């Protein structure tokens, strides 16, 4: 009969028993708003703030474990209550004192040779390098700094680990691997 009147299957007996229990306990079948979420105390918010003041590079996962809170709670506190955001560290090559002078001298020399030698660009190999770090590796994809404003943080890195180079000359490609 239910199916002919409402044009759908009747509720399962398990659902009816649950509704009965809820009605007897609360006097209503209406679900509580907000679910069973606990309000976040000021002390817990302050605990999250202290963790990230002490260690701004701490991951949400580690903070959640340390504070016995869920990752989503930590994330919400950081964003909604503390207005902190994750900024990615920028890894740059460490410059030495006379690098600027050497770069300018190189640029002047290259411009001069391009002007004076008509086939100079056909005889030069353009290349770039990829660095493979064996130790002290910083994974910039996992390294975040939790702070309210972008710190424009950079980490200088010495470049003396294994290199892999690929040179492109107008008609061929050369590749090398070496240490220096």
Flag the least confident range among 76-80, 92-96, 172-176.
172-176
pTM: 0.44
Flag the least confident range among 39-43, 111-115, 155-159.
155-159
How far is 97 from 95, CA to CA, in rounded Å? 7
With a cut of 50, say whether residue 180 has pLDDT above it.
Answer: no
DSSP-derived letter for residue 121 is: G
DSSP string, 136-149: S---TTT-EEEESS
Confidence class of residue 176 from pLDDT cuts 50, 70 and 90? Answer: low
Six token digits for residue 170: 């107008």
The predicted model gives 59-86 an average pLDDT of 92
Q: What end-to-end distance do the CA atoms of the chain give, in Å?
A: 85
DSSP-derived letter for residue 32 is: P
Can you name the residues that pair with 146 across neighbouring β-strands?
86
H or E stretch covering 151: none
Confidence class of residue 73 from pLDDT cuts 50, 70 and 90? Answer: very high
Can you name the residues that pair with 131 across neighbouring β-strands?
163
With a cut of 90, say whether residue 166 has pLDDT above it.
Answer: no
């Amino acid at each position: 009969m239910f199916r002919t009147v409402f044009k759908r299957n009747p509720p399962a007996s398990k659902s009816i028993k649950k509704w009965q229990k809820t009605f007897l306990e609360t006097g209503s079948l209406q679900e509580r708003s907000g679910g069973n979420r606990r309000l976040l105390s000021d002390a817990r918010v302050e605990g999250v703030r202290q963790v990230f003041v002490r260690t701004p590079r701490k991951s949400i996962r580690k903070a959640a474990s340390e504070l016995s809170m869920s990752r989503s709670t930590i994330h919400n506190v950081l964003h909604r209550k503390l207005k902190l955001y994750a900024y990615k560290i920028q890894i740059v090559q460490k410059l030495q004192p006379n690098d600027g002078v050497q770069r300018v001298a190189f640029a002047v020399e290259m411009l001069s040779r391009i002007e004076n030698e008509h086939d100079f660009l056909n005889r030069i190999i353009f290349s770039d390098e990829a660095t493979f770090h064996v130790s002290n590796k910083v994974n910039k994809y996992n390294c975040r700094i939790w702070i309210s404003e972008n710190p424009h943080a950079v980490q200088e890195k010495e470049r003396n680990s294994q290199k892999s180079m690929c040179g492109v000359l107008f008609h061929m490609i050369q590749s090398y691997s070496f240490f220096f």
